[in-house]
A = this chain, B = another copy of it.
Amino acid sequence: MCSTHVVSDLTELLDLLSRSRVYDLAQPWFTGMPHYPTHPPFLYSLTKKHGDLLADGGVSSAADSIALGTHVGTHIDALCHFSCDGKMHGGVEVSGIQDYGRGIDRLSVDTVTPILRRGVVLDVAGPLGVDSLPADFVITPKYLEAVCADRGIAIGAGDVVLLRTGWAKFWNDPGRYITGGRGSQPMGPGPELEGARWIGSKGVFAAGSDTVAFEKVPSAMAVHVHLLVENGIHIIEALNLEDLARDGVVEFVFVAAPLKIRGATGSPVRPVALVVGG
């Protein structure tokens, strides 16, 4: 009977989940956290403290207010984040569909449905015997293929593929996280166009990394253009992939649900990786 079948499937799903380890892939949000210089930082204040206002029976509540750029902290880029020659993914013209107060009318982050997909993480730093990749390291297809071969990873269409550089550990040292600790410009490891093409050729749903930008920085943003505009592949940045790497996880269910911010080019998100059994 149908309803029995449903219950039994639900029970099975709950059982699988109960046997899963849940990896938290997000960084925390706090005043002073790293942010790319062109994106507004994270602001926070309590709006009231316990005891500011006391109701009958000694009841009190506290609440807070925040402000931030939509690309600050662990976040996803909507396809409307980039354009080339006035056109977004699928040839959608930006002209006439953008407004400061309303955002972008097409391909915005509120159109991204909740993500429940196969995920894989390619630990680029680990096999090289370093805690973290150098700030000027280019993640070329050679490195990506080596990791896949070594760990027996096959990337499938629709997957979410994450690259680990080891930079997540710099989260509490914003200068280091953004510039690598040297000089005045944002700088960090990542793929260039060649790596983006390799990823794009897999037909994945999204690509992510543990760096402030899924792209070797500084750059002309060719990776963002190739993935978002030319291939319709979402980008997820500022992930924390350290726990996955520590445990040698390569494959999981990736779960994330961007906030449906109408017209927005991105959204903060707290993704999780579900690893069943083991």
Contacts and interface: CB of A to CB of B under 8 A. Distances in A.
What DSSP secondary structure best describes chain A's contact surface? mixed
A261 interface: yes
Contact of A276 (B10, B39, B73): B10
26 contacts: A5-B277, A7-B251, A13-B16, A13-B274, A16-B16, A26-B259, A28-B110, A32-B45, A35-B47, A37-B38, A37-B53, A39-B63, A43-B66, A46-B99, A46-B101, A46-B104, A50-B86, A55-B221, A57-B220, A60-B84, A62-B80, A62-B94, A62-B104, A64-B103, A101-B102, A258-B270
* Total copies of the chain: 4
A94 B48 contact: no
A270 B260 contact: yes
Chain A, interface size category, equals 35 or more
A48 B99 CA distance: 10
Contacts of A86: 50-51, 58, 60
A135 B269 CA distance: 34
A32 B175 CA distance: 27
Interface of A: 2, 5-7, 9-10, 12-14, 16-17, 19-20, 22, 24, 26-32, 35, 37-71, 73, 80-86, 88, 94, 98-104, 110, 113-114, 116, 118, 174-175, 178-179, 183-185, 220-222, 224-225, 251-253, 255-266, 268, 270-272, 274-278
